[in-house]
Amino acid sequence: MGNTKLANPAPLGLMGFGMTTILLNLHNVGYFALDGIILAMGIFYGGIAQIFAGLLEYKKATLSV
């Protein structure tokens, strides 16, 4: 149980950053209005996914200080 291997969480963090950037840029070009669902997706993908990826990186001890 103590020898559990985790996958690389960096793609999750990068996906969160990329999705948030794409959503906000689609709003900037006028593709859609900035309503509640877009803000919720931005907060979830941009914030929660990156925090979760950071916690997984910390657990894997791959962070360099």
User: Which residue ranges make up each domain of the chain?
Assistant: 10-60
pLDDT single digits (tens) 8-35:
888 888 888 898 888 888 888 988 887 8
Q: Looking at the predicted structure, is the pLDDT value of residue 1 above 70?
A: no
Confidence of residue 64 (pLDDT cuts 50, 70, 90): low
Residue pair 46/20 in contact by the 8 Å Cβ criterion: yes
Q: Measured between alpha carbons, how far is 49 from 43 in angstroms, rounded to an integer? A: 9
CA–CA distance, 35 with 60 (Å, rounded to integer): 37
Arithmetic mean of pLDDT, 54-64: 78
Identify each DSSP E strand in the chain by its residue range.
none
* pTM flag (> 0.85): no
